[in-house]
Structure 1
Amino acid sequence: MGIALKRPVLVGGLGLTAGLWLLDVVEQSPVDSSMMMGAIALGSGLWWLKNLGKPTVPVWEKPAAADRAAVEAALAEVNAVLEALATEAEFNPSSLTAIESQIATQRQAQADILKGLDRGLDRGLDRTDLTLAITGGKAVGKTALAAQLTANWQAEQSQITLLDIGEAQTAELAAADLVLFVAAADLTDSEFQQVRTFVDAGQPLLLVFNKQDQYAPMERAQILQRMQAQMAELGVEGVAIATVPSPIKVRRHLPNGEVEETYEQPAPELDALTAKLTQQVEQEAQTLVMATALRQAKALKVSAQALLNDQRRQQALPLVEQAQWIAAGTAFASPLPTLDLLATTAINAQLILDLGAVYGQKFSLEQAKAAAGTLAELTVKLGLVELTSQALSSLLKSHAVTYVAGGVLQGVSAAYLTHLAGLSLIDFFEAQSQLDPRDRQFTFAQLGPRLQALFQQGTGLQTFARQALKHLPSSQAVTVDASAASL
């Protein structure tokens, strides 16, 4: 998609950099250190950073109940993404055919969701063609439970599909109308997080405490009570069962006076579970159908947004490349580190505006400056400025005068840091695009872990240094030492 980009931050920031440089050179600058720091703070938005409050811990909220309006709203969001993708495709003729095919596939999936929803609702609340999935940890009795339900309860519910699903089969779990999560003791942290993940995704779930017969009556009641207390905050119910109770020793006194000991297999204790399942099938089928349709619509949006992000990344990468070479040339020509900071902040602020335009996010100039200030502070706090200089100094060998050599190192370092910032911003915008617009928080301080991860990967640093040298003056005076490459 062609976007006309004006760059007031870049022009203003570099202009201020050049002005301060000239004043310093002629040694007649009326700008003292306090005024210079004030200018840097204005250009980078450090004032905003100093006034940031401590991040608050978000309060978990159960997803809203699914209904037809929610499903149609989610499908409308899918349609909006596909419309944007179709518009992007017009500016990319080389991949137009492939994109159009992908859009057609997505639109067919939209239609299938609506058809399935209508077909289910036409049958009213008595719809019984539901899919139930059984999952949980290891050795908790999932397979035995599936066998018992299939042989007994499912026989009375002929349209129920019952699946015994392992932990890795996420696609099958996501498609299930109801999940039975089986545990054989108090929930571990891992199990609780699994349950919460299902609930966060809008997946109807019933917690099943199996093997209760292995505990004394008082202890089993306490375990179930603890489970139900944990599940209450998630809106999940829990029941206790014994799929295959332990054999019971029976002693019989025979007429001849001898005592005979045998073991009898008690009947499965599934009444609490089957009663709950019957209730959900008969009274809550419509809710289950809606929840499944809503999850499918949301998954479709994620898929469509990923296609759109692929197209946008193709537009974003050249902008990052352009910014990194501007940063290289500016840092090479600048004799003062403080001016490097101001120029790099201006370049990053403009890059944020440009990438925001690509990803459909509008920022004011002040917001872009503040975000660039956040990036500047993160790179310093994480030690990336110093680490980048150390890594590149071992790669670069200079045969020019000291001033030029220093300028080369500064230039390549500035380019690489801008490169890392740009890639982190692209990932950040893509992640935000997958969220509901009401949940998007453009808190650029979140970029820290991504910046650090990209630097630690360090792939292609030697190749990047060679490319950077081509964009600097006197590049013929500098070589890259392949033997020194450690990243």
Structure 2
Amino acid sequence: MSLPRLLTLIAAFCLTLGLIIGLVSSLTGLYTQVALSASPLLANLLILAVIVLLGTLIFALFYYLRLLQSPQKVKGKRVLKPKIPVVKTEAASENLKAIRQQVDRIQDEVARQALLLRAREIEASMARGSIRIVVFGTGSAGKTSAVNSLVGRMAGQVGAPMGTTEVGETYTLKLKGIERELAITDTPGILEVGIAGTYREELARQLAAQADLILFVLDGDLRKSEYEPLRTLAEIGKRSIVVFNKVDLYPDSDRDAILTRLRERVKGFVSAMDVVAISANPQKVVLEDGTIFQPDPDIMPLIRRVAAILRAEGEDLIADNILLQSQRLGEQARKLIDLQRRRQADKVVERFQWIGAGVIAVTPLPVVDLLATAAVNAQMVVEIAKIYGCELTIDRAKELAFSLAKTLASLGIVEGVIQVVSRALQLSVAGFLLGKAIQAVSAAYLTRIAGKSFIEYFRHDQDWGDGGIAEVVQRQFQLNRKDEFVKAFVKDAIARVVEPLNIYQQAPEPELEMSAEIESEPLYQQQDDDWETHSNQRNDDW
């Protein structure tokens, strides 16, 4: 025994002895006082009660110390079923509540029902008693053979070509020392060609994304096409074991070299201990006497690693997976809502861009810089804000519109738009209409840039981002000046703005038309026809 430990024991012994002597002295004094003041019988009863109380306290102390040191040795205690960590399940529950509130705002009935169904599946997984293990990899890597060996019975067509497993087949397994049952799912192979192969790979990826633990099966060195999905699974928070199968086909030196390369390739997102070598379905061996010998599967390295991970991290893996699934579902709901809002906001922008173009076509502005102010409509800002759940006053909308209009002018985007529109219109519009057409189409173009910029502003909770309003406006201008878009936009503008403007310029004076026809037709009929024609014309144009 070391000297410090010996000195500690001597000090503890002396302290305990002093406490005992003090206790005995106190009890003796107490007994004497009670015996002299009352009666010896009462003093004896009091001393007995004190001794029993002290004995009970000492017994309880030793009992609970023993319980804390070796809880597994306490008999008569019922072993409780392991529970998923409370904090993570509560977070997942909150996520699911938020998702249900978001789903009510989704207009697409099919998407809404799909989200609700997935939310119910996640809630069911929170109460399930099994750990979900997914076997993932190419069709030729021997996934099904690995599942067969783990489960201990034939679970698929061993030795079949790629593409045999059409859907995810799930089997159960119990491991010693693991309270929960294991649900092992054999997925379709990845990296297969054709439409059917793409569908099977998508199904396999969906099953892998829902797993608590993934067994990524390989039959050799890791290829780049296999590295990408393995890395992606790690990035979304999935715990994986890399399983090097069919090692019986390699000499020992080659097998060790491949294992070393595998551990090096996955270093950083898969532990070296989580790369194991197995032989799930060894090849038959022909002995010297001609007898065919079938070796037993060598699956124990995988079983030992799975058992070690599940004993140490099983409950956390379940909790992490549930939380991850709820977060991914919430992100999916937010994307659907954002897409729905963008479509609604785009319709608002498109409506106001042609309204602005019509106004400028009828009353062209004498100064080019005024186009920016005229193009940014405050009412458009109010309607876009309402789509994103923001209530803006018209005064606040005017402030935002004026600020963005100044940005358009200061960045030279007005001149840039006019140049783009002029080049596109020169070959399509007659000379006497070119000036009006350029201003009208430019106003529509600027309105579109402004509207798209405000969509980004409200999408990010009324924040222009680190680059400010100028960066957002510049980005929208660059996105909307691509040749394909400009051609389509100008073609639409000619049909909506330039052609009606041409008709307006060529139309005769209303007074002359009425005087020429007043003698040939009754006045009331001419008024009816003129009203109907005018109404239809406006509907067609706008």
How far 1:343 moved relative to its partner? 4.7
For the pair 1:227 / 2:262, whether they are aligned, the reply is yes
Q: Secondary structure at the match of 1:397?
A: coil
| 1:161 aligned partner | 184
More deviation, 196-205/304-313: 304-313
How far 1:405 moved relative to its partner? 0.9
Q: Name the CA distance, whole Å, in 1 between partners of 2:410 and 2:291.
A: 77
More deviation, 321-330/365-374: 365-374
Higher relative contact order (CA 8 A, sep 6+): 1
For the pair 1:242 / 2:269, whether they are aligned, the reply is no
Q: Name the CA distance, whole Å, in 2 between partners of 1:457 and 1:248.
A: 70
For the pair 1:397 / 2:429, whether they are aligned, the reply is yes
| 2:222 aligned partner | 187
CA deviation map 1:126-146 (0-9, x unaligned): x4x233222223522223323
Query: How many pairs were matched up?
Result: 374
| 1:407 aligned partner | 436
| 1:173 aligned partner | 208
**Rg larger in 1 or in 2?**
2
How far 1:293 moved relative to its partner? 1.5
Q: Secondary structure at the match of 1:284?
A: helix
| TM-score, scaled to structure 1 | 0.58
Q: Name the CA distance, whole Å, in 2 between partners of 1:268 and 1:449.
A: 61
Where in structure 2 are the equivalents of 1:103-252 lying within 5 Å?
110=119, 113-117=122-126, 119-120=127-128, 127=129, 129-151=130-152, 155-156=173-174, 159-166=182-189, 167-169=201-203, 170-235=205-270, 237-248=274-285, 250=287, 252=288
- Which of 342, 345, 354 aligns to 1:316? It is 345
For structure 2, which runs of at least 5 residues remain unmatched after alignment?
1-83, 154-170, 176-180, 190-200, 507-542
Amino acid across the alignment from 1:292: N
Q: Secondary structure at the match of 1:160?
A: strand
How far 1:453 moved relative to its partner? 8.0
| TM-score, scaled to structure 2 | 0.53
| 1:482 aligned partner | none
CA deviation map 1:199-221 (0-9, x unaligned): 23233322222233444434433
Q: Name the CA distance, whole Å, in 2 between partners of 1:285 and 1:440.
A: 42
How far 1:226 moved relative to its partner? 3.1
Q: Name the CA distance, whole Å, in 2 between partners of 1:448 and 1:411.
A: 18
Cα root mean square deviation, aligned: 5.2
Contact 1:356 1:362 in 2 (8 A): yes
CA deviation map 1:100-150 (0-9, x unaligned): x98798667656634541x24xxxxxx4x2332222235222233233333
Contact 1:179 1:206 in 2 (8 A): yes
Q: Name the CA distance, whole Å, in 1 between partners of 2:467 and 2:242.
A: 33
Contact 2:91 2:323 in 1 (8 A): no
> Does the C-alpha gap of structure 1 residues 367 and 102 become closer, same or farther in structure 2, counting only changes over 3 Å?
same
Contact 2:285 2:292 in 1 (8 A): yes
Contact 1:74 1:301 in 2 (8 A): no
> Does the C-alpha gap of structure 1 residues 187 and 357 become closer, same or farther in structure 2, counting only changes over 3 Å?
farther
* Amino-acid identity (%): 25
Contact 1:385 1:417 in 2 (8 A): no
Q: Name the CA distance, whole Å, in 1 between partners of 2:327 and 2:299.
A: 35
Q: Secondary structure at the match of 1:132?
A: strand
For structure 1, which runs of at least 5 residues remain unmatched after alignment?
1-65, 90-94, 121-126, 253-259, 479-487
Q: Name the CA distance, whole Å, in 2 between partners of 1:375 and 1:162.
A: 61
